[in-house]
């Protein structure tokens, strides 16, 4: 039986160091692309997916992000006094997300095409997976510099190395993070464990995706979605 993920976590706590100087006075999720904040582009996708619970984590300039999200049906997971990285942040947010597998999404990318959360959810098979990462070939990863992250095997399992870039969308079981002793840790630690155990899977995104983690990504994203900042 496929246990459909019904909760979404948006990662929005980072310092946005690659986006400086634009992040000197605001958190990266509030950087404007085509006239709208990055976090709003992401929330459009979340709302179209129809999740029952949405959580956004916050640390850097958290009050500004909270004010922007005020009045929306979004729970905030405040990371204080220290930022917890992706793994620690997801574990901190688990009580807000509820039981079962969850979808996670980075807030510094723009998409065009099929809803990536829906695609990942449809590919999820809880009987054999503990995490499913949505990827695409490096040649189609707009705004991404460097090589890929993974190779997708014929059986759907992911292996380290190769030309597939992780898009920032995944399905994962948060309970598998419980035995990691560090408070702050990257999900890369978890993915390595799962790959070794044969429980890390992948799916390929067929639409367009742009990394907006650096200033140059803004114009690339606006060109991709056919909009301009006005």
Phi, psi of 139 (to 5 degrees): -65, -20
7-225: CATH topology: Spore Coat Polysaccharide Biosynthesis Protein SpsA; Chain A (3.90.550)
> pLDDT tens digit string along 73-94?
999 999 999 999 999 999 999 9
Write out the two tokens for 187.
């999900």
Long-range contacts of 147-150 (CB under 8 A, 24+ apart): 150/202
The 3-state DSSP class for residue 140 equals: helix
Q: Which tens digit of pLDDT belongs to each residue from 123-173?
A: 999 999 999 999 999 989 998 888 889 999 989 999 999 999 999 999 999
Mean pLDDT, rounded, for 107-119: 96
pLDDT for res 229: 41
> What is residue 142's predicted lDDT score, i.e. its pLDDT?
92
In degrees, to the nearest 5, what angle opens at C-alpha 105 toward C-alphas 181 and 209? 135
The number of C-alpha atoms within 13 Å of 85 and in the hemisphere containing its C-beta is 12
pLDDT, tens digit (0-9, with 9 covering 90-100), for 172-219: 999 999 999 999 999 999 999 999 999 999 999 999 999 998 999 999
What would you report as the CA-atom Rg of the chain, rounded to the nearest whole angstrom?
17
Q: What is the dihedral of CA 81, 82, 88, 91, to 10 degrees?
A: 10
Task: Give the start-to-end residue ranges of the domains of the chain.
Answer: 7-225
- Spell out the residues 6+ positions from residue 152 whose beta carbon is closer than 8 angstroms to its own: 135, 158, 162, 164, 202, 204
Query: Angle at CA 91, nearest 5°, toward 20 and 138?
Result: 50
* DSSP 8-state symbol, 213: S
Alpha carbon 97 to chain centroid, angstroms: 15
pTM, two decimals, is: 0.92
- pLDDT tens-digit map of 10-54: 999 999 898 899 899 999 999 999 999 999 999 999 999 999 999
| DSSP designation for 138 | G
């Amino acid at each position: 039986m496929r246990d459909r993920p019904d909760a979404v976590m948006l990662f929005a706590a980072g310092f946005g160091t690659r986006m400086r100087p634009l992040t000197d006075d605001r958190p990266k999720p509030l950087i404007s692309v085509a006239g709208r904040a990055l976090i709003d582009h992401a929330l459009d996708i979340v709302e179209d997916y129809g999740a029952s619970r949405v959580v956004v984590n916050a640390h850097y300039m958290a009050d500004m992000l909270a004010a922007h999200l005020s009045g929306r049906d979004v729970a905030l997971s405040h990371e204080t006094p220290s930022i917890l990285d992706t793994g620690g942040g997801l574990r901190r947010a688990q009580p807000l997300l509820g039981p079962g597998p969850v979808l996670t999404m980075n807030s510094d990318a723009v998409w065009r095409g099929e809803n990536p959360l829906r695609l990942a959810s449809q590919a999820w098979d809880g009987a054999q997976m503990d995490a499913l990462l949505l990827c695409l070939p490096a040649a189609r990863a707009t705004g991404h510099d460097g090589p890929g992250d993974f190779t997708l095997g014929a059986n759907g399992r992911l292996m380290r190395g190769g030309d597939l870039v992780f898009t920032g969308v995944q399905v994962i079981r948060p309970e598998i993070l419980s035995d990691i002793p560090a408070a702050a840790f990257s999900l890369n630690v978890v993915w390595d464990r799962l790959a070794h155990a044969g429980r890390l899977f992948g799916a390929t995104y067929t639409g367009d995706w742009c990394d907006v983690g650096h200033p140059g990504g803004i114009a690339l994203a606006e060109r991709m979605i056919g909009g301009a900042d006005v």
